[in-house]
């Protein structure tokens, strides 16, 4: 009996080693998309009233966890029985992300000088939360599929454990950092009450820096939407990669994302006008 227990523990240890190795490999491959995920979701979670920041962020985080609960089983099932369906889903998600990014670019281009009214023009809170959860869903699909592609040669239990770990990291890590960002001003106000000169200076810096950080996140989040969508088209639409092989990848992704987004935005605007 003791020898059987030790053998079981040895098997478990080997499995955990495999999971750790595969998680590291998948983590390196998805690091870029996790950075984009952070930029996009940070932009989505900012701009609310101070009393609503954490409740809104918690609502988006719960939606993100629910997204993972939906995506992970479907991804494992599709990988096993319908791998042909993964790329069309990725491309459809890329079109949605491109539309979101192009819509933001068009709004800035068409409403220059109206920034002072931007807070009044924002959609209702529930609509913004829903939009953030939908964008999180698309980015989560991309993260899970990329991670799954890196561990396809491993045993099924290793695939499940490694990809699940990456998915959980994507939610806990990203929204943990976002929570710190949105409460930066509160931390600054707390530091202003300290007796230390250094603490008060740091507090003033944090309070003054928050509006700048929010503006930067808005720009970076929009760029990230276009780059992620362009990257999807670049690597998953047949012929695109060969056609643009001499173009720097970053520029190609940006042009593809913005171009596709403007096309979808035009189609959506035309459809809305036709329905009216």
Q: Is the pLDDT of residue 160 over 60?
A: yes
Task: Tell me how many degrees the CA angle 85-90-91 measures, rounded to the nearest 5.
Answer: 105
- State residue 181's pLDDT score: 81
- State residue 208's pLDDT score: 87
User: What are the respective helix, strand and coil percentages of the chain, to the nearest 5?
Assistant: 90, 0, 10
CA 121/CA 116 separation, integer angstroms? 10
Q: Is the pLDDT of residue 37 over 90?
A: no
Contact between 72 and 167 (Cβ < 8 Å): yes
- State residue 12's pLDDT score: 47
> What pLDDT band is residue 11 in, cutting at 50, 70 and 90?
very low
CA 218/CA 230 separation, integer angstroms? 18
* Top-ranked range on mean pLDDT: pick from 42-46, 116-120, 152-156, 207-211: 207-211
Report helix, strand or coil for 187. Answer: helix
Longest dimension (CA), the chain: 77
> What pLDDT band is residue 122 in, cutting at 50, 70 and 90?
low
Decide which of 39 and 95 is more confident: 95
- State residue 51's pLDDT score: 75
Q: Residue 144's closest CA among 251, 64, 56?
A: 64
> What pLDDT band is residue 120 in, cutting at 50, 70 and 90?
low
Q: Is the pLDDT of residue 1 over 70?
A: no
CA 133/CA 201 separation, integer angstroms? 37
Q: Is the pLDDT of residue 252 over 80?
A: yes
Average pLDDT over residues 95-116: 80
Task: Note the pLDDT tens digit of each residue in 194-239.
Answer: 888 888 898 998 888 878 887 787 788 888 889 888 988 988 888 8
Q: Kindly report the average pLDDT of the chain as a whole number.
A: 80
Torsion, Cα 51 44 39 41, to 10 degrees, reads 90
Average pLDDT over residues 55-59: 89
Of 10-14, 93-97, 158-162, 244-248, minimum mean pLDDT range? 10-14
> What pLDDT band is residue 27 in, cutting at 50, 70 and 90?
low
Decide which of 66 and 8 is more confident: 66
Spatial CB neighbours of 72, under 8 Å, sequence gap ≥ 6: 144, 160, 163, 164, 167
Task: Note the pLDDT tens digit of each residue in 72-91.
Answer: 999 888 877 888 888 888 88
- State residue 28's pLDDT score: 62
Decide which of 263 and 242 is more confident: 263
Q: Is the pLDDT of residue 257 over 90?
A: yes
């Amino acid at each position: 009996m003791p020898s059987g227990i030790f053998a079981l523990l040895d098997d478990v240890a080997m499995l955990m080693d495999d999971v750790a190795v595969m998680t590291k490999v998948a983590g390196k491959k998805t690091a870029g998309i996790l950075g984009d995920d952070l930029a996009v979701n940070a932009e989505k979670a900012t701009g609310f009233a101070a009393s609503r920041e954490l409740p809104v962020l918690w609502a988006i985080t719960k939606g993100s966890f629910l997204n993972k609960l939906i995506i992970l089983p479907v991804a494992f099932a599709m990988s096993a029985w319908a791998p042909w369906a993964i790329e069309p889903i990725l491309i459809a998600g890329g079109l949605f992300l491109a539309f979101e990014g192009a819509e933001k670019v068009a709004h800035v281009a068409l409403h220059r000088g109206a920034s002072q009214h931007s807070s009044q023009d924002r959609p209702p809170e529930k609509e913004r939360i829903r939009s953030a959860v939908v964008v999180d869903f698309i980015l989560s699909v991309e993260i899970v599929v990329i991670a799954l592609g890196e561990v396809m040669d491993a045993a099924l239990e290793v695939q499940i454990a490694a990809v699940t770990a990456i998915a959980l990291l994507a939610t806990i890590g990203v929204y943990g950092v976002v929570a710190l960002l949105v409460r930066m001003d509160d931390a600054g106000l707390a530091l202003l009450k300290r007796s230390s000169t250094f603490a008060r200076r740091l507090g003033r810096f944090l309070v003054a820096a928050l509006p700048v950080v929010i503006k930067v996140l808005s720009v970076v989040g929009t760029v990230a939407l276009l780059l992620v969508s362009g990257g999807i088209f670049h690597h998953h639409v047949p012929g695109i990669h060969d056609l643009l092989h001499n173009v720097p990848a970053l520029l190609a992704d940006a042009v593809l994302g913005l171009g596709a987004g403007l096309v979808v935005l035009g189609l959506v605007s035309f459809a809305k006008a036709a329905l009216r």
